[in-house]
A and B are shown apart, each in its own frame.
Chain A
Amino acid sequence: MKTCLVVDDSKVIRKVARHILETLNFEVSEAADGKEALDSCMASVPDVILLDWNMPVMSGMDFLRALRDTALSSRPKVVFCTTENGMAYIRAAIEAGADEYVMKPFDRETLESKLQIVGLA
């Protein structure tokens, strides 16, 4: 089964994303900030990470930089999933090593199509 780590400080968003991902046959784990997410990745590397931008403790961007600097057993795909929808943000995310970008609000079709684009759905 493919695995996805959902990183978002909103419990509601995590729940919505989990629901969609489970119908797409993903095994889902959750983290509420970048620090928790990093710990989770050290323990086991998911196939894909759905990543919010603005979070307490450690932002999505700081997490992504730390992740891409860490030697892991495999390279997880990273799909940003955020309300930041300006071109400058998108460009910064891609430059930092994100593979795809979802602008909130999103629905099932959007998420599914983005996961297909990174080769996972």
Chain B
Amino acid sequence: MLTPRPAGAVAEFIALLEMRTGQQMGANRNWRVETALKPVMRDTGHETLEKLAAAIRADRSGPLADRVVDELLNQESSFFRDAAVFDIVEQAVSAIPDTRRPRIWSAGCSTGQEPLSLAMLFAEKLDHQMPEILATDVSESALNKARAGHYTQFEIQRGLPIRRMMQWFDSSDGDWIANPGLTRMVSFRRMNLVADSLPIGRFDVILCRNVLLYFSLDIRRAVLGRLAQVLRPDGVLVLGAGETVIGQTDAFRPSQRYRGLYEPNWAAAAAA
């Protein structure tokens, strides 16, 4: 079936999203644009998509454009998403000699559930050094929410065991707020994986889950190459359930040690 190419304002928003983040909006998701932008239109008094598009054309790097990009990004996440992965990450981190502090990067951390899950997991393990956890996302509003550790009742219940909720969160007007002791274990930073300079130093574990899905193949390959640059030779990469590096890049191959994870592909690096 032929899906008509998006026209006019919708096409402009989709182009803005791709330019800013590399994220493509699948043709079957075009309908989402208007739904997602309704709140912005209401808050800013632009009654139609066309008027909103015109306002953005007049100021492409202003706060309105930022807000539109934020609303169009898929920021779905949950605590301990695909729970079995966390056991494997724990194994990988436990194998690191205790003489140095493990480093973990949650790339595309959205509203913080992923890095905070890691922080809880490792803070509860007393026999090991607390890893350094860096969490980055392109969306400043998602990061603000993550830094505040503020979740609705729906968000907090998804995947988070009740004992951990009791230990690490307090209720406030029906919402749930992470103890500062928990959010402090994570450094949150804004970073566009496609364009911004990479974090300094190398990581033992990089999680980049449910982020690469909507990149074009070229961008996906480029981002995977960038992640490989800051992963330790003995480090591992974690992708989302249903994501793979196979057929996408030569920089990684399935890990020999940890099922479902990926490791740098030295044969390819040597040949390059």
A103 and B156 alpha carbons, distance in the complex (Å): 10
B157, B163, B174 pick with most chain A CB within 10 angstroms? B157
A71 at the B interface (CB under 8 A): no
A109 and B158 alpha carbons, distance in the complex (Å): 7
A53 at the B interface (CB under 8 A): no
B83, B159, B174 pick with most chain A CB within 10 angstroms? B159
A-B pairs with beta carbons under 8 Å apart, 20 shown = A85-B171, A87-B166, A87-B170, A90-B162, A91-B166, A94-B163, A94-B166, A100-B161, A100-B162, A101-B162, A102-B157, A103-B153, A109-B78, A110-B154, A113-B78, A113-B157, A113-B158, A117-B83, A117-B159, A117-B161
Contact flags (1/0) for A26-47 with B, using CB distance below 8 Å? Answer: 0000000000000000000000
Contact flags (1/0) for B160-176 with A, using CB distance below 8 Å? Answer: 01110110001100100
Closest residue of chain B to A86, judged by CB?
Answer: B171
Given contacts A109-B158, A113-B158, 19 further A-B contacts (CB under 8 A): A85-B153, A85-B171, A90-B165, A94-B162, A94-B163, A94-B166, A100-B161, A100-B162, A101-B162, A103-B153, A103-B157, A106-B157, A109-B78, A110-B157, A110-B158, A113-B78, A114-B157, A116-B83, A117-B159
A86 and B174 alpha carbons, distance in the complex (Å): 9
Contact flags (1/0) for B80-111 with A, using CB distance below 8 Å? Answer: 00010000000000000000000000000000
Closest residue of chain A to B169, judged by CB?
Answer: A87
Q: Identify which of residues 43-67 in chain A touch chain B, using a CB-to-CB cut-off of 8 Å.
A: none
Report yes or no: B154 in contact with A107, Cβ–Cβ below 8 A.
yes
Interface size class of chain A, counting residues whose CB lies under 8 Å from the partner chain: 10 to 19
Report yes or no: A113 in contact with B159, Cβ–Cβ below 8 A.
yes
- Chain B residues whose C-beta falls within 8 Å of the C-beta of A86 in the assembled complex: 171
Q: Distance (Å) between the CB of B230 and the closest chain A CB?
A: 32
Q: Distance (Å) between the CB of A63 and the closest chain B CB?
A: 18
Q: Distance (Å) between the CB of B225 and the closest chain A CB?
A: 34
Taking Cβ atoms with an 8 Å cutoff, the residues of A that contact B are: 85-87, 90-91, 94, 100-103, 106-107, 109-110, 113-114, 116-117
A116 and B171 alpha carbons, distance in the complex (Å): 24
Provide the main secondary structure of the chain A interface: helix
A39 and B158 alpha carbons, distance in the complex (Å): 32
Closest residue of chain A to B161, judged by CB?
Answer: A117
- Chain A residues whose C-beta falls within 8 Å of the C-beta of B163 in the assembled complex: 94
Closest residue of chain B to A117, judged by CB?
Answer: B161
Q: Identify which of residues 149-197 in chain B touch chain A, using a CB-to-CB cut-off of 8 Å.
A: 153-154, 157-159, 161-163, 165-166, 170-171, 174
Q: Distance (Å) between the CB of A103 and the closest chain B CB?
A: 5
A85 and B152 alpha carbons, distance in the complex (Å): 12
Q: Identify which of residues 97-156 in chain B touch chain A, using a CB-to-CB cut-off of 8 Å.
A: 153-154
A86 and B171 alpha carbons, distance in the complex (Å): 7
- Chain A residues whose C-beta falls within 8 Å of the C-beta of B165 in the assembled complex: 90
Our pick among A85, A109, A114, A116 for the contact of B174 (Cβ within 8 Å) is: A85
A113 and B154 alpha carbons, distance in the complex (Å): 12
- Chain B residues whose C-beta falls within 8 Å of the C-beta of A100 in the assembled complex: 161-162
Closest residue of chain B to A118, judged by CB?
Answer: B161
- Chain A residues whose C-beta falls within 8 Å of the C-beta of B171 in the assembled complex: 85-87
- Chain B residues whose C-beta falls within 8 Å of the C-beta of A101 in the assembled complex: 162
A80 and B161 alpha carbons, distance in the complex (Å): 13
Q: Distance (Å) between the CB of B117 and the closest chain A CB?
A: 12
Q: Distance (Å) between the CB of B168 and the closest chain A CB?
A: 12
Q: Distance (Å) between the CB of A70 and the closest chain B CB?
A: 23
A107 and B166 alpha carbons, distance in the complex (Å): 21
A90 and B161 alpha carbons, distance in the complex (Å): 12
